[in-house]
Amino acid sequence: MRFESPDTLEAASKLLASATGDARVLAGGTDLLVQMKSEIVTPSLIVDIKRVPETRTIKEEGGGFRIGAAVTGAELKEHAALKAAWPGVVEAANLIGSTQVQGRCSLGGNLCNGSPAADSVPAMIAAGAVATVVGPNGRREVKVEDVMIGPRKLSLQKGEIIASFYLPPRPPRSADAYLRFIPRTEMDIAVVGCGVNLTLDASGTCIAARVGLGAVAPRPLLVEDAAKALIGTKVDDAALANLSAAARAACKPIDDKRGTIEFRIDVAGVLAKRTALIALERARKK
């Protein structure tokens, strides 16, 4: 098993593109090493991207934030400005695994692992995050909701690596929130994950919204009907009921060891409402 740690993404991309066997990107390793241990994957090449500076920094850029794909959950939590602007995204990222996992896990890894239940992805989708991808044909941008196309299937081509994510500038009275349902209090894979991002006008009416749902379909969803249920309303009980219904309707879950279809649908409706209320309260304070 070969191990390389280049210092540019172009070099990393070349290594991956030219690999003959199974080649994997290593960021935090909190998914890859687990899969290697249970022999789900046996890569012939591991490309560690952590020596590439652009994957490891958080920068304010154009009024928004550019977050390196290999920045750890712990580092996200420690960035006061990011946390203030995007508490939902940071919370979502901080729900990945344990404190120990937080010391290593990354937004890039969480997305590219391709699990429909990834904790950070619904919040990133709700935030309108855009991924910058480096590949054999240069750089391109992909909306986060377009990266995963199915369980363990990405829209990225061979040799493409996510370099960073861009979170757009925040209009006034904007806030996000993320909630997930798990059977314990920590350490579980999300049974349902919900991210809500909304903007209010001066009168308290919702003028923009995005809702992401995770673990209820083959990939994390951008639920436009759920957003429509909030836009133009004061996020009152009626709007929340419509939001819940839209969230429920968007689910295409499976029965598995973590939850039943019926349960996931019910909980999606409940979480959508609760998450929206947190986002609302935060937005009102901004």
Closer to another protein by CB, 210 or 273: give it: 273
When asked if residue 40 is in the footprint of another protein (CB under 8 A), the reply is no
* Contacts of another protein in 53-92 (CB under 8 A): 72, 74
Instruction: Print the binding letters for residues 13-32 with another protein: x by CB under 8 A, - otherwise.
Output: -------------x-xxx--
16, 47, 129, 267: which one contacts another protein (CB under 8 A)? 267
Which residue, among 250, 165, 239, has the nearest Cα to 200 in the 3D structure? 239
When asked if residue 241 is in the footprint of another protein (CB under 8 A), the reply is no
HSE-CB of 159 using CA atoms within 13 angstroms? 15
For the chain, the 3-state helix, strand and coil shares in percent, each to the nearest 5, are: 35, 25, 35
Write down the residue that tokens 């836009």 correspond to.
231
| All residues at 6 or more sequence positions from 100 whose CB lies less than 8 Å from its CB, including other chains | none
Interacting span for another protein (CB under 8 A) from 12-20, 55-63, 79-87, 264-272? 264-272
Helix 87-94, helix 261-285: angle, nearest 10: 140
Instruction: Identify whether the C-beta of residue 80 lies closer than 8 Å to the C-beta of residue 108.
Output: no
259, 272, 276, 280: which one contacts another protein (CB under 8 A)? 259
Q: How many residues does the chain have?
A: 286
C-alpha–C-alpha distance, residues 117 and 261, integer Å: 14
CB of 34 to another protein, least distance (A): 5
CB of 46 to another protein, least distance (A): 6
48, 54, 146, 225: which one contacts another protein (CB under 8 A)? 48
Closer to another protein by CB, 28 or 195: give it: 28
* Contacts of another protein in 165-194 (CB under 8 A): 181, 183-189, 191
Secondary structure letter of residue 273 according to DSSP: H
10, 270, 277, 282: which one contacts another protein (CB under 8 A)? 270
Q: Is 235 left (phi over 0), alpha (psi -120 to 50) or beta?
A: left
Where along the sequence are the contacts to another protein (CB under 8 A)?
Answer: 1-3, 26, 28-30, 33-34, 36-38, 46, 48, 50, 72, 74, 97-101, 103-104, 181, 183-189, 191, 257-260, 262-263, 266-267, 270
